[in-house]
Structure 1
Amino acid sequence: MESLAVGGGDDQSSSNNPLSEWSYAVSRRYQILLDKSTPHVLRRWIAFAVVVFIYVIRVLYIQGFYIVSYGLGIYILNLLIAFLSPQVDPEIEDVADGPGLPTRSSDEFRPFVRRLPEFKFWYSITKAFCIAFAMTFFIVFDVPVFWPVLLFYWLMLFTLTMKRQILHMIKYKYLPFTSGKQRYTGKRAGSTDDESLPKD
Structure 2
Amino acid sequence: MSTEPPVISTRTKLTRLYQTWLDKTVPFVIPRWAATLVSYVLYFIRIYIIQGWYVVTYALAIYHLNLFIAFLSPKVDPSIYQDDSDDEGPQLPTGSAEEFRPFIRRLPEFKFWYSGTKAIVIAFICTLFTAFNIPVFWPILVMYFIILFGVTMKRQIKHMIKYRYLPFTHGKTKYKGKDDTGKVIGSS
TM-score (norm. length: structure 2):
0.86
Match of 2:52 among 48, 61, 64: 64
Q: Does residue 1:118 correspond to 2:109, yes or no?
A: yes
Q: Contact 2:94 / 2:164 at 8 angstroms: preserved in 1?
A: no
Q: Contact 1:85 / 1:114 at 8 angstroms: preserved in 2?
A: yes
CA distance in 1, matches of 2:90, 2:46: 50
CA distance in 1, matches of 2:101, 2:172: 8
Match of 2:95 among 104, 121, 129: 104
* 1:76-124: CA deviation from partner (whole Å, max 9, x where unpaired): 1100000000000001122483452634234343221100000000000
CA distance in 2, matches of 1:179, 1:97: 31
Give 2:44's aligned amino acid. Answer: V
CA distance in 1, matches of 2:55, 2:143: 13
Q: Which has the larger radius of gyration?
A: 1
Match of 1:81 among 63, 69, 86: 69
Q: Structure 1 133/125 Cα, relative in aligned 2: closer, same or farther at 3 Å?
A: same
Does 99-108 or 17-26 show the bigger shift? 99-108
Residue 52 of structure 1 deviates from its aligned partner by 0.5
Q: Structure 1 101/75 Cα, relative in aligned 2: closer, same or farther at 3 Å?
A: closer
Q: Does residue 1:23 correspond to 2:23, yes or no?
A: no
CA distance in 2, matches of 1:180, 1:121: 18
Q: Could you list the runs of 5+ residues in structure 2 that have no partner in the other structure?
A: 178-188
Q: How does 1:19-58 map to 2 (within 5 A)?
A: 19-58=7-46
Aligned Cα root-mean-square deviation (Å): 2.0
Q: Percent identity?
A: 56
* 1:17-54: CA deviation from partner (whole Å, max 9, x where unpaired): 11001100111011001100000001101110111011
Q: Contact 1:111 / 1:178 at 8 angstroms: preserved in 2?
A: no
Q: How many residues end up aligned between the 2 structures?
A: 174
* 1:43-69: CA deviation from partner (whole Å, max 9, x where unpaired): 101110111011011100000000000
Give 2:100's aligned amino acid. Answer: F
Q: Does residue 1:163 correspond to 2:151, yes or no?
A: no
